[in-house]
Structure 1
Amino acid sequence: MPKNFFNSARISEEHLAIALAQVKLGFWELDLETKLIECTDQNRVNFHLSPNEIITEQTIIDSILPEDRWRREEGLKQAMNPETPTYDFEVRVRHYDNKIHWLQVRGTVIFEQTKPVRIIGTTIDISDKKGVEILRDELLNITTHELKSPLSVVKGYLQLLQKFITKTGDSKHQLIAERAITASGKVERLMEEMTIGRLHDQSEMILKKEEVNLEELALEVISNTNLTSHDFELTLSVNTENLTVIADRYRIAQVLTNLVNNAIKYSPGESKVEIEIARENRNIKVSVIDNGIGISETEQTKVFEKFYRVEDTSRIAQGSGIGLFLCSEIIAHHGGEIKIEANPKGKGTVAHFSLPLQIEG
């Protein structure tokens, strides 16, 4: 045995540990019988787990944001087939500083004959890799949103002007109004295509937090929506006195506007959408309720995936499949939760999000 063998081995091990820490790569192994997981320190860091904590499969599931857990379930389900024993997916976890981290999880199922006995795999924190895209995407998102809001208002006024001109019988100016509305529609489509082509997952989001009165914000969203959706009645009910949250007003308006627009789009033949604001423990909950086509239980979490479209909805309304993804990102970065469920009072859906309440004292 060479004289410096053990010293060289120690140095190599130290170098390997440093290299794995630098790339944030963790290793793990799951025993499918005991459900216990053995892993490296870096894997604990990736999932924000304490150094001496006993890790089980449920521990890892609980560490993943609820709206991302279905990705793990689907990947694992496919990997339980000996012909396709590997999986690769991305999920979000929340660290102690309340920041969202993206992890890429890869695994291989080990079989004894045809029985799966354990899974070995890796996790890597890919938040930094995504960070390069943040500034570009933030600028794009802000620009398109800031253009879409006034454009919707302009289009609403053009439609009102067209109705007025139609009553006068002035065919020349009616044609001008129609062409202006058509042109505004083309601009909307162009902005949608820009967003689809450039949007990426975000590991961080710039928030400008301030005190926000959610009742005032909801009334503002209703007023803007009424300009473009004349056939729908939007109502607001408030069941709490404390309506103040610390949040990014523009971002929360973006979420509420998207949920209201979805409720309208997917409620053909209906004419009413309700918004409710209520206290829920130390949170304030905002719900958007419709009587539309509804959503299946299996798709209630999938709709928050980027570019996901509910099956058989393209005949009802067009969409890019990014709206709810953005809503999920915004609420997650505010420390809240967002869900879409079947309407318990009948047909349709209830989309709701909760935010930490600003409590005095």
Structure 2
Amino acid sequence: MQEVIMSRTAYKAQEAELDLIRNGIVEHMFIDFVYEPVIDLAGSVSAIMVVGIDVTEKVNARKSIEEIEERIRLAVEAAEIGTFDYHYGNNELLGSDRFNEIFDIEPGTPRSAIIASYHPDDQGLSAEAHELGKTTGKILYEARVMRADGMRWVRFQSNIYFDKDGNPERTLGTVIDITAYKALQQQKDDFISIASHELKTPITSLKASLQLLSRMKENPNPALFPRMIDQATRSMDKITDLVDDLLNVAKMNEGQIRLKKDWFNVAEMLDKCCSHVRDMGIYNLILQGDKKLTIFADEHRIDQVVVNLVNNAVKYAPQSTDIILGVDKVDDLVKISVKDFGQGIPIEKLPHLFDRFFRADESGAQVSGLGLGLYISAEIVKRHGGEIGVDSNLGEGSTFWFTLPIDGKG
């Protein structure tokens, strides 16, 4: 106020915060006010006129909107959603940072350049979606974008806003990278195809065996009858194994797998496991390592892991008749390994071996199964607080291994 008197210049303040006591109640307020000097005939400041306007409601409303916008912005960023604003009149496209990141472009890149980066088969999708949007008011389509680091799937979704004459004026919307979703969708489709094939084979064999047995029920063939029974039993065992894998995955996803831990001798468990492989009379399961090690774990589940690893060796390295089962103590851990002397696994496939539904033989021509064995094994080991991995060299074979805490406290 003294400055207003000295300078004879008005002082203005906007949205000044203050606590005002009104009727004995302290109120936090925002005020726009002016200190206006009143000049007398002698040119001196004779008074100061103070005008104040309560703008608390306006400020609070604006801050509420700003908070909502900030929450939306943070949510959009967390969801990794790109946003864009396209004006039909001047062909101007404004994209968010995430939009530019998805397309791997610099800010200001023209729309034509973005569409040119689409897969050749998808470059007409944008025009078709915009044309349809003139009727529906909405745009929705998916396209493949060819970036320097590989192909990405993207999904566009937006609303079109029209002028008073009904012509499209602008469209505001979002774009998201759905590459991972598409890969999962493809994986699901492949799994359904594999599962159908894997179940159909033993079911067909079982049906054939039962049909033959039905025909022989009045006059059984002593030579053929036992063979049909054995074939039906093998088919039923195969179906049971496939269904068990599916049920195990479902239980793991729902957190229903409970471990029943107790102390047991690892070497004794390895000696007793995999009877189905030993009974074939083809493979030699050779036990090596510390045969006195005991561990506190779920013996049934650990046996299941070893069986899966041995089955894997038999499937992918059928010429390797010797399979080494190893057990060693590493600090406070037990390391169990299954080594074959097959052709090995390509290095690019190693990171995916324990993924759900992954099969090293992608064609499915050489091996059977749903691609769940190693995934189930990895989940069982993780629930014990251990680690699982594989070492492999082409032409030399593979060693699948896992570690478990001896005291079960991992």
TM range (shorter): 0.5 to 0.7
- Determine if the alignment matches structure 1 residue 84 to structure 2 residue 152: yes
Aligned to 2:61: 5
Q: Distance in 2 between matches of 1:82 and 1:260?
A: 36
Secondary structure of the equivalent of 1:320? coil
Q: Distance in 1 between matches of 2:382 and 2:294?
A: 18
Given that 1:86 and 1:108 are in contact with CA atoms closer than 8 Å, whether structure 2 keeps it comes out as: yes
1:300-315 mapped onto 2 (5 Å cutoff): 300-311=350-361, 314-315=364-365
- Determine if the alignment matches structure 1 residue 211 to structure 2 residue 263: yes
Aligned to 1:62: none
Aligned to 1:272: 322
Given that 2:345 and 2:393 are in contact with CA atoms closer than 8 Å, whether structure 1 keeps it comes out as: no
Given that 1:294 and 1:348 are in contact with CA atoms closer than 8 Å, whether structure 2 keeps it comes out as: yes
Aligned to 1:256: 306
Letter in 2 for 1:236: L
1:170-185 mapped onto 2 (5 Å cutoff): 172-185=221-234
- Determine if the alignment matches structure 1 residue 324 to structure 2 residue 380: no
1:181-196 mapped onto 2 (5 Å cutoff): 181-194=230-243
Aligned to 1:292: 342
Secondary structure of the equivalent of 2:273? helix
How far 1:193 moved relative to its partner? 4.9
- Give unpaired runs (5+ residues) of structure 1: 30-76, 88-105, 110-170
How far 1:352 moved relative to its partner? 0.7
Aligned to 1:238: 289
Aligned to 1:355: 404
Aligned to 1:46: none
Secondary structure of the equivalent of 2:390? strand
Letter in 1 for 2:152: T
Letter in 1 for 2:347: E
Aligned residues: 230
Given that 1:86 and 1:107 are in contact with CA atoms closer than 8 Å, whether structure 2 keeps it comes out as: yes
Identity across the alignment (%): 26
Secondary structure of the equivalent of 1:251? helix
Q: Deviations over 1:24-65 (max 9, x none)?
A: x95679xxxxxxxxxxxxxxxxxxxxxxxxxxxxxxxxxxxx
Secondary structure of the equivalent of 1:254? helix
Bigger share in helix: 1
How far 1:326 moved relative to its partner? 0.4
Q: Distance in 2 between matches of 1:333 and 1:234?
A: 27
How far 1:224 moved relative to its partner? 5.3
Letter in 2 for 1:5: A
Q: Distance in 1 between matches of 2:336 and 2:246?
A: 31
How far 1:298 moved relative to its partner? 1.3
Q: Distance in 1 between matches of 2:365 and 2:388?
A: 26
Given that 1:192 and 1:320 are in contact with CA atoms closer than 8 Å, whether structure 2 keeps it comes out as: no
Letter in 2 for 1:340: V
How far 1:8 moved relative to its partner? 4.1
Residues 275/313 of structure 1: CA separation in 2 closer, same or farther (3 Å cut): farther
Answer with 3-12 or 171-180: which moved more. 3-12
Given that 2:334 and 2:404 are in contact with CA atoms closer than 8 Å, whether structure 1 keeps it comes out as: yes
Aligned to 2:105: none
Letter in 2 for 1:278: D
- Give unpaired runs (5+ residues) of structure 2: 1-54, 82-144, 156-174, 179-219
Secondary structure of the equivalent of 2:318? coil
Q: Deviations over 1:242-294 (max 9, x none)?
A: x2222111111100011112212223233211101011222110111111232
- Please say which structure displays the higher CA radius of gyration: 2
Q: Distance in 2 between matches of 1:338 and 1:82?
A: 30
Measured on the aligned residues, the alpha-carbon RMSD in Å equals 4.3
Aligned to 2:253: 202
How far 1:185 moved relative to its partner? 2.3
Given that 1:286 and 1:354 are in contact with CA atoms closer than 8 Å, whether structure 2 keeps it comes out as: yes
Q: Which has the higher contact order (CA 8 A, sep 6+)?
A: 1
Residues 330/196 of structure 1: CA separation in 2 closer, same or farther (3 Å cut): closer
Given that 1:234 and 1:275 are in contact with CA atoms closer than 8 Å, whether structure 2 keeps it comes out as: yes
Aligned to 2:19: none
Given that 1:234 and 1:272 are in contact with CA atoms closer than 8 Å, whether structure 2 keeps it comes out as: yes
Normalized against structure 1, the TM-score is what? 0.52
Given that 2:317 and 2:342 are in contact with CA atoms closer than 8 Å, whether structure 1 keeps it comes out as: yes
Bigger share in strand: 2
Q: Distance in 2 between matches of 1:188 and 1:326?
A: 19
Q: Distance in 1 between matches of 2:324 and 2:405?
A: 22
Q: 2:386 aligns with which of 323, 336, 339?
A: 336
How far 1:16 moved relative to its partner? 8.0
Answer with 284-293 or 197-206: which moved more. 197-206
Given that 1:278 and 1:285 are in contact with CA atoms closer than 8 Å, whether structure 2 keeps it comes out as: yes
Secondary structure of the equivalent of 1:308? coil
Given that 1:287 and 1:353 are in contact with CA atoms closer than 8 Å, whether structure 2 keeps it comes out as: yes
